[in-house]
Amino acid sequence: MRKRGRGRLSGGSVAELDGFRRTQRLAYACAEEVGARLRPGVTEREAARMLRRWLEVRGVRDWFHLPFAWFGDRTAFTGFRIPLQFFPTGRRLEEGMPFILDLAPVYGGFSADVGFSGRIGENALHDKLLDDLRAHRELILREVRERRTLRAIYQDVDRLMVEQGYANRHRAYPFGVIAHTVDRVEERRWSPRVFGFGTQALKGLASDAVRGHREGWSPLWSPYGFSDHPPAPGMWAVEPHLGFRGTGAKFEEILVVTDSADPEQSAFWLDDDLPHVRRWETTV
């Protein structure tokens, strides 16, 4: 793995992967536990606060972004026009409602960004969406290994969603991104946030953008021209997001891209022991 970041990331070491994996696991554990505690009547703001508390108690001091929670048709981002609509609202959870918890803690200097889709009670449609996300996880890994351009992969993901009958809701994310890089973050005593995003992490992303601009790649994986390049080595938090008539589902996890010549080693998911992956394995 190539040496990246501001000279701190001594690329590819097992210890480093372990660090990212530890943060990602912690974030998923948090999402699973809080997800299991959600009951009808809880608001998005309360859920987001629960996520934050849970992680802060376990030593998280900084964030790539503060936790988000979306309930009901907000999981499909219906009617989202401005980025402020991403922030948790007073929407209350009801029986049968889908929800998405999205959290990006920095832990021990390693950041992660995870998305967890769940539902309260029965929701067959939501189950179907979660099942169908599997094809996207496989498609993304396969095409990254084939070193197709990020823009082309993006378009293939879109096409698959249309074939499946869904709308891509990652289109609603800033710059329409399906993924962005995550990095090591310097831990400081004071880490202020701007619009819910940690300044340290944003600084990392910005310096990646500057470096990427010089080297011809972008830390944002979007449908636009600036993503018309093969996958750049690094840690990519990938978040394909399906939406279908008021129900949305996504996963978000880290894809490790390296400059190895071996296809297997050139790209792999950081961790396969995640709730959505376990779900697919048990349903098969």
Chain positions contacting other proteins, by CB under 8 A: 124-125, 128, 162-165, 244-245
- Of 212 and 248, nearer to other proteins (C-beta) is 248
| Structure token digits, residue 239 | 């978040």
**Phi/psi at 93 (5° precision):** -75, 140
Distance CA 94, CA 243 (A): 19
- Of 84 and 124, nearer to other proteins (C-beta) is 124
Closest CA to 83 of 219, 222, 194, 242: 194
Residue 130 C-beta: closest distance to other proteins, Å: 12
Spatial neighbors of 283 by CB under 8 A, at least 6 apart, are 131
Q: Which residues of 94-104 are buried (b: 16+ CB within 10 A; e: fewer)?
A: eeebbbbbbbb
Residue 74 C-beta: closest distance to other proteins, Å: 14
SS3 of 38, please?
Answer: coil
Residue 90 C-beta: closest distance to other proteins, Å: 16
| Structure token digits, residue 116 | 């967890």
Cα pseudo-dihedral 141, 219, 155, 159, rounded to 10: 60
- Of 163 and 262, nearer to other proteins (C-beta) is 163
Whether the CB-CB separation of 55 and 74 falls below 8 Å is answered with no
Residue 165 C-beta: closest distance to other proteins, Å: 5
- Of 93 and 267, nearer to other proteins (C-beta) is 93
- Of 25 and 134, nearer to other proteins (C-beta) is 134
Residue 121 C-beta: closest distance to other proteins, Å: 13
- Of 128 and 134, nearer to other proteins (C-beta) is 128
- Of 82 and 124, nearer to other proteins (C-beta) is 124
- Of 125 and 209, nearer to other proteins (C-beta) is 125
Spatial neighbors of 10 by CB under 8 A, at least 6 apart, are 3, 16
Residue 124 C-beta: closest distance to other proteins, Å: 5
Residue 245 C-beta: closest distance to other proteins, Å: 6
Residue 32 C-beta: closest distance to other proteins, Å: 25
Q: What does each C-alpha distance from 117 to 17, 60, 275 come to in angstroms?
A: 25, 22, 9
Q: What does each C-alpha distance from 46 to 42, 62, 238 come to in angstroms?
A: 6, 20, 26
